[in-house]
Amino acid sequence: MARILYDLCGADQRLRFSPFCWRAHMALRHKGLDYEARPWLFTDKDEIAFSVEGDGSKATVPVLVDDDDRVINDSFEILRYLDHAYPDTPLLDQDRAESRARFIKYWSETQVAPAIFRIIILDIFRNLDERDQPYFRESREQRFGVTLEEFHNPDQGREMLDRALTPLRSHLQELPFLDGQTAGGADYIAFGIFMTARVMRGEPLLSGEDVVGQWQDRLLDEFHGFARSATTVRELQAN
């Protein structure tokens, strides 16, 4: 049985930096499922065109191919699919639990990620495959309305991040995970963007004194240190 996760990579194929793919990685590990993490570039649209309708130009990762013929895209839909297909060890649960995880997804994407991107956007760009750099620059500059260099604003990003993380800090004073005593889907959803920073930045984004940094550490240690062992630009610079 083939299970393939199409997984965005950088100039070095070992750099896996998509926050959305990281949600899928953690979810698959949570379920104890084996899979091939197939490297994919932004410019490899044709390779995953099968995952969307139309001409494939909107295709993006993560894409999960399960059992050779079940195709799921979108990280939240992948987590939902995994809960339906492999009901043991739930990720999202159902109904209101799932709905609240969806809110946490939107909180992460609209409050946390924009802050982190202002800190790491040039780190990402520099470590992309050169075939992806023009596409990344053009698409992101259109989205931002400014150049990557103008968008890059670590001071503003830090201030935004500090404000955005306030509810998570309050939560983590009470509980070790967003999902309570053990890690679950809501944690993986929020964690993805922190892996982007870890992989592409070369230095830690959060300190060990920060309760969010400690939460990140707990997630890095999950599944026998799976995420902690992921290649980062720091290892590549050292070699």
Question: Binding residues for a copy of itself, per CB under 8 A?
Answer: 90, 93, 95-104, 106-107, 109-111, 166-168, 170-171, 174-175, 177-180, 184-186
**Of residues 50 and 106, the one with the C-beta less far from a copy of itself:** 106
**Of residues 53 and 95, the one with the C-beta less far from a copy of itself:** 95
Helix (H, G, I), strand (E, B) or coil at 46: helix
Spatial distance between the Cα atoms of 59 and 46, rounded to a whole number of angstroms: 8
**Of residues 5 and 116, the one with the C-beta less far from a copy of itself:** 116
Shortest reach from residue 219's CB to a copy of itself, in Å = 15
DSSP codes joined into one string, 155-195: HHHHHHHHHHTHHHHHHHHH-SBTTBSS--HHHHHHHHHHH
Contact 180, 134 (CB under 8 A): no
**Of residues 8 and 115, the one with the C-beta less far from a copy of itself:** 115
Shortest reach from residue 79's CB to a copy of itself, in Å = 13
Shortest reach from residue 32's CB to a copy of itself, in Å = 18
Please give the sequence-ordered ranges of beta strands (E in DSSP) within the chain, or none if there are none: 3-8, 36-40, 63-66, 70-73
Q: Nearest CA to 25 among 220, 172, 204?
A: 220
Q: Nearest CA to 233 among 200, 194, 190, 186?
A: 200
Q: Nearest CA to 74 among 159, 6, 2?
A: 6
**Of residues 113 and 119, the one with the C-beta less far from a copy of itself:** 113
Shortest reach from residue 70's CB to a copy of itself, in Å = 23
Shortest reach from residue 106's CB to a copy of itself, in Å = 4
